Amino acid sequence: MDRALIFDLDGTLWDATFAIRDAWDEAGKRFFGPQYELTHDAVQGLMGKTMDEIANELIPQYADRELAQRFIDSCFQIEVDYLSRHPGALFPDEVPVLSELARDYDLYIVSNCQAGYIETFLPLVPRRLFKGHMCWSDSKLDKRFTLKALVERYGLVECVYIGDTEKDERETHAAGLPFIYASYGFGGAINPEGVASSFKELPAVVAKVFADKKGLGFQK
């Protein structure tokens, strides 16, 4: 297909924040004792950040560098293992809408997550619904660079990014792509090219963005 939709994961394709809180809290208690505690609100506020940004928020200030690194390595592995057994929740109407969109667009995922994380989501949707994905571990850079890498890898020409935070919007525009704001997610947006308050609204919003914009590949 000539047109592609690239999705964020957390807050856009699923809500895994309760499971993530449990996993990160378990890792914290292993390394720093029972006084370590994370709230659901704190975890939700970290969604959309890069893994190194999240790590800086999770590590107590008193932890030395070696302990901090061992904690982070363990924390994100525990998260992947936990989500493989306790996956996040899909949003209402998600699977039928994604299946509808896949008839007209190729679907991809770009997320600021570690290797293995997206793979815990994929079993929840029909097999091969998504053509490919990339994450922070692939680029170790901000999302704009991961987006560009995915576009180059798959030879995408006309594409739109769908996410749920102001940072998603900023990174998308920095990559030269139009942004659709999933307002049912965790964050906000300033000047998106489209807004969907539910999955049911996505097909119409996507169609309008493609109709309104010319040359939806990267800006020259």
What's the sign of the alpha-carbon dihedral 72, 75, 79, 80? positive
Residue 97 contacts residue 12 (beta carbons within 8 Å): no
Mean pLDDT score of the chain, rounded to an integer?
92
Please report, as a single letter, which amino acid is at residue 123: P
Q: pLDDT tier at 191 (50, 70, 90 boundaries)?
A: very high
The encoded tokens of residue 116 equal 């293995």
Cα–Cα distance for residue pair 173/15, rounded to 1 Å: 24
Residue 45: the pLDDT is 87
Q: Which residue has the higher pLDDT, 41 or 100?
A: 100
End-to-end CA distance of the chain: 22
**Mean pLDDT, rounded, for 148-176:** 96
Give yes or no for residue 219 having a pLDDT over 60.
no
Tell me the percentage of the chain whose pLDDT exceeds 70: 97
Closest CA to 185 of 8, 11, 7: 11
Closest CA to 45 of 34, 56, 54, 55: 54
pTM of the model: 0.91
Residues 6+ apart with CB under 8 A from 36: 25, 28, 29, 60
Q: Which residue has the higher pLDDT, 52 or 94?
A: 94
